[in-house]
Amino acid sequence: MTIANQVAAPPHVEEHAAPRAPFIAEHFEGAEHQFESGKLGMWIFLVTEILFFSGMFCAYAVYRSQHPEIFSYASQFLDSTMGGINTVVLICSSLTAAWSVRCAQLGQRKGLILTLALTILGAFGFLGIKYVEYSHKFHDGLLPGKYYHVQSEAVADVGLDASIPAATEGESHEAAPEPAHDSGHAPVEGPEPANVKIFFGIYFAMTGVHGLHVIIGIGVYVWLLVRAIKGHFRPDYYGPVDFTALYWHLVDLIWIFLFPLLYLIH
């Protein structure tokens, strides 16, 4: 009789267990098991993210080692002040993200809502500054591939010799003089090296994909904010806040590499 009950009716077995906290899936043993599984999953996902970006970092390394003149020339068109401000903005939002985890752990709902909102604000700030930078690049024709048509005033703005019109550059790039490879550290003055558009291809690919990650991060943080307002998070259930913060730190970290590699070449 008892055997039949045990075999037939699993709910009876589980009745003896403590009632489950909300949001704990039934295939986990409990809150801790779910949290640890989620955290491991997030770390593995971050590994895939690093490998995803590594393709572009690899392309960057190959082209920079083969054509340092392109990088030192084209990098002058990037606004390192704006990039620097953006770095600070993103690091601050990483701080508030870490803070939000602390608030969730301690069950401070108001603090959690505030820090999540500040993180979103920081992300929007980053995107806003990025938008200003991108629109300058669009205006100056500093675009990848076939859309590259640098305006002479942009060249003059960064203090370079604008006498060579960029329009003819594309056609005669095979005849363009090959700059010496050891000129990588000094600002390149004089004529534009061949294939500067490759730099802007890499610049837009890397910052674009990074920006996409910021946008995705905003989406996730808005979802967290809604759940925080609803009071879903408590000291025994704060996994999503923790995992998203990990993601956000990685997005921050990638920018910390992108900024010097693209903006601070001199």
Partner 1 sequence: MSTTHTQTAVATAAEPDYLSCSKGWKSWLLTLDHKRIGVMYLIAISASFFLGGLFALALRLELFHPGKDFVDGDGYNQLFTLHGAVMVFLFIIPGIPAALGNFVLPLMLGAKDVAFPRMNLASFWLWLFGAIFFVFVLASGGLDTGWTFYTPYSVEAQTAVIFAATGAFILGFSSIFTGINFIVTIHKMRPAGMTWFRMPLFLWGMYATAIIQVLATPVLGITLLLLIFERVTGAGIFDPHNGGDPILFQHFFWFYSHPAVYIMILPAMAIVSELVSVFSRKPIFGYKMIAYSSVAIALLGFLVWGHHMFTSGQSKLAGAIFSALTFSVSIPSAIKVFNWLATLYKGSISLATPMLYALAFIFLFLIGGLTGLFLGTLSTDVHLHDTYFIVAHFHYVMVGGTLFAFLGGLHYWWPKMFGRMYSARGSAIACLVSFVGFNVAFFPMFPLGAKGMPRRYWYYLEEDFISYHQLATVGTVLLGCGLLGIVVVLLKSLKNGERAPANPWGAATMEWEAASPPIHHNFHHTPAVHDPYDFGDLRFDPAQGGYARTSNATATATH
Binding site for partner 1 (CB under 8 A): 1-4, 6-10, 13, 25-27, 33, 36-37, 40-41, 44-45, 47-49, 51-56, 58-59, 62-63, 143-147, 173, 194-195, 197-198, 200-202, 204-205, 209
Q: Which is nearer to partner 1, 44 or 215 (CB)?
A: 44
Radius of gyration of the chain (CA): 25
Collapsing DSSP states into helix, strand and coil, what is residue 187?
A: coil
Residue 47 C-beta: closest distance to partner 1, Å: 6
Q: What is the Cα–Cα distance from 154 to 190, expressed in whole angstroms?
A: 14
Tracing tokens 């490998």 back to the chain, one arrives at 51
Q: Tell me which residue of 174, 175, 154 sits closest to 165, measured CA to CA.
A: 154
Q: Which is nearer to partner 1, 63 or 257 (CB)?
A: 63
Q: How far is CA 183 from CA 67, 149, 180, 186, 193, in A?
A: 11, 24, 6, 6, 12
Instruction: Please name every residue paired with 234 in a beta bridge, in sequence order, or none if there are none.
Output: 237
Residue 237 backbone phi and psi in degrees, to 5: -150, 95
Query: What are the tokens at 253?
Result: 């970290």
Q: What does DSSP assign to residue 2?
A: H
Residue 4 C-beta: closest distance to partner 1, Å: 4
Q: Which is nearer to partner 1, 109 or 173 (CB)?
A: 173
Q: Tell me which residue of 117, 69, 111, 74 sits closest to 93, measured CA to CA.
A: 117
Is 199 within 8 Å of 84 (Cβ atoms)?
no
